[in-house]
Amino acid sequence: MSRAARALNCPNCGSGFELKGGRKTKTATCSSCGSTLDVSKPPFAVLGQLDQSRHVPLGDIRLGQTATVDGIAYEVIGRIRLGEEGSFWDEWLCLGPRGKTVWLGEDAGRLSVQRVFTPEEAPDFDAITAGPMLNVDGTRYMVDERGGASVMHIEGELTWRAKLGDAVGYVDALRGIERVGIEWTEEEIEFFRVEPVTRKAMWEILGLTDKITAFDAAVTEAAGIRKAAQVLLLVTAVCFGLGVVLGGGLFDSKVVHLKSPIATRGLDTGLILGKAKLGKGFGRYVVEAEVDLPHNVNHYALSLHGADGKTLPVIKFVQDKPARNARIEGQTKFTVPGAEAEYELVLDGQVDAAVTQAAPDGRVTLKITRERARGSTMILVSIVLLLMAMFKFGAAKRAAPTDDVLPLPYDDDDD
């Protein structure tokens, strides 16, 4: 994997440590005293002192880890933090066999694998330092970020002599999911292919199987919650649909009161008691009738007569024997087909001719109400279910492990 280690003693505190990069390492930090050392040749000079408790790594990358990139195992041997106060990013140096290097980048949660490359066609320096576009090897990239930074912190080993405050210019450019990075100083300019990776992909690179397992478990749990939310949403849709079919309407209406005297005269030809506007809608009608019948009336029937000639039977009563001033109470439910229309409430009856004794007039008290539609109940239920589903979706979103922020794609069509 990496080169043979080189043992040395810190010239500041005397602590012994090994340089994993071997001769490749030019700068190293002593983990005991924080000294930054020039280890390119003896005597090793102390370049500075670092507070190792500051500028700690924010992600999961650590020195000493094995990073497998493109099937090659590298060792993470160094870190450099670049930026200015309040804004910074980390670049981790990984050393592989035969001196190969690759970099892992961490920038505000965005992770990347960065490979140094030599473009055959490089942009002019003026274009690198200004302008919205860069042409690298015939491909146009849109500048995403450009600026200057300085070395804020060093940890582990680096392959050049680095010290705090060293200045570097940088530009990041993208095209679709492709990214290139350029960093330069007065002496050198380097090009990088920047491959954004997700957190899980970085864990796979670093072989952090525990984190991968926990991540997958969280994803599964979130998926389960999301599925429950989807079922709830489906049930919501069904309830709402049922509510529509059964008829909505949350308020009672169409209450019709009728009080009408009944005279026996004309009863057998149909007595119009009154009129009511009734019609198809959500729900059914309930008619409650209280009929005081003259004792000489039997076979009475209440019905609704529409303008189109339709007749809706409401209540029918057959009395075998006339009874003196019988009172009949009844309730029935019926549905009125068709659009809303005016109906006549008609009382048909049969007067028993054998009864000769004069009978007082009867009376019918009638109440027609529109039954509270079950459909509205279903709609209420669907609203509750919808709220539950939204809550579940929110819970699924909270439970789902977050992933990296990937760069916005740039395409030629955007020109």
Partner 1 sequence: MSLSCPNCGAPLELQHRSVKLTVCAYCQTASAIENDRADPLGKSATLIDDESFLRVGMVGQVRGRGFSIAGRLRFEYEDGYWDEWFTLFSDGTNGWIHDDEGDLTLLQKQTVTAPVPAFDSIRVGQKVQVGDQLVYIREKSTAEVLGGEGQLAMRVVPGAPIAYADGMANGQAVMLEWADDGLELCIGVEIDPDEIEVDM
Closest C-alpha to 32, from 17, 47, 48? 17
Number of residues that bind partner 1 (CB under 8 A): 34
| Beta strands 341-351 and 297-306, pairing class | antiparallel
Q: Return the exposure string of 73-108: e unless at least 16 CB atoms fall within 10 Å of the residue's CB, then b.
A: ebbbbbbbbbbeeeebbbbbbbbbeeeebbbbbbbe
The 190-229 site mask, x for binding partner 1 (CB under 8 A), equals x---------------------------------------
Q: Where are the alpha helices (DSSP H) in 38-134?
A: 125-129
Q: Which two tokens stand for residue 238?
A: 């069904």
The 362-381 site mask, x for binding partner 1 (CB under 8 A), equals --------------------
**Closer CB to partner 1, 97 or 338, in the complex:** 97
CB of 186 to partner 1, least distance (A): 7
**Closer CB to partner 1, 7 or 353, in the complex:** 7
Please pick, from the candidates 9, 15, 185, 209, the single residue that binds partner 1 as defined by CB under 8 A.
Answer: 185
Please pick, from the candidates 55, 100, 140, 275, the single residue that binds partner 1 as defined by CB under 8 A.
Answer: 100
76-84, 117-125, 221-229, 300-308 -> range binding partner 1 (CB under 8 A): 117-125
**Closer CB to partner 1, 98 or 321, in the complex:** 98
Alpha-carbon span 234 to 191, nearest angstrom: 52
Q: How far is CA 304 from CA 8, 53, 271, 387, in A?
A: 108, 91, 11, 43
**Closer CB to partner 1, 96 or 247, in the complex:** 96
Residue owning tokens 């040749």: 41
Please pick, from the candidates 114, 159, 298, 376, the single residue that binds partner 1 as defined by CB under 8 A.
Answer: 159
The helix/strand/coil state of 121 is coil
Alpha-carbon span 235 to 274, nearest angstrom: 44
Q: Which two tokens stand for residue 66?
A: 């094995």
The 57-86 site mask, x for binding partner 1 (CB under 8 A), equals ------------------------------
CB of 212 to partner 1, least distance (A): 30
The angle, 0 to 180 degrees and rounded to 10, between the axes of the packed helices 374-399 and 209-246 is: 170
Alpha-carbon span 88 to 104, nearest angstrom: 15
| Contacts of partner 1 in 5-24 (CB under 8 A) | 6, 22-24
112-120, 218-226, 301-309, 335-343 -> range binding partner 1 (CB under 8 A): 112-120
**Closer CB to partner 1, 181 or 283, in the complex:** 181
Alpha-carbon span 377 to 123, nearest angstrom: 69
Q: Which two tokens stand for residue 112?
A: 């990347």
**Closer CB to partner 1, 23 or 226, in the complex:** 23
Residues whose CB falls within 8 Å of the CB of residue 271, separated by 6 or more in sequence, listed in order: 262, 263, 346, 347, 348, 349
**Closer CB to partner 1, 21 or 349, in the complex:** 21
Residue 146 near partner 1 by CB under 8 A: no
Residues whose CB falls within 8 Å of the CB of residue 147, separated by 6 or more in sequence, listed in order: 169, 170, 171
Residue 188 near partner 1 by CB under 8 A: yes
Please pick, from the candidates 26, 153, 199, 254, the single residue that binds partner 1 as defined by CB under 8 A.
Answer: 26
Torsion of CA 390, 394, 399, 402, to 10 degrees: 130
Residue 40 near partner 1 by CB under 8 A: yes
Please pick, from the candidates 128, 287, 302, 346, the single residue that binds partner 1 as defined by CB under 8 A.
Answer: 128
Interface residue list for partner 1 (CB under 8 A): 3-4, 6, 22-24, 26, 40-41, 97-101, 116, 118-120, 122, 124-125, 128-129, 159-162, 184-190
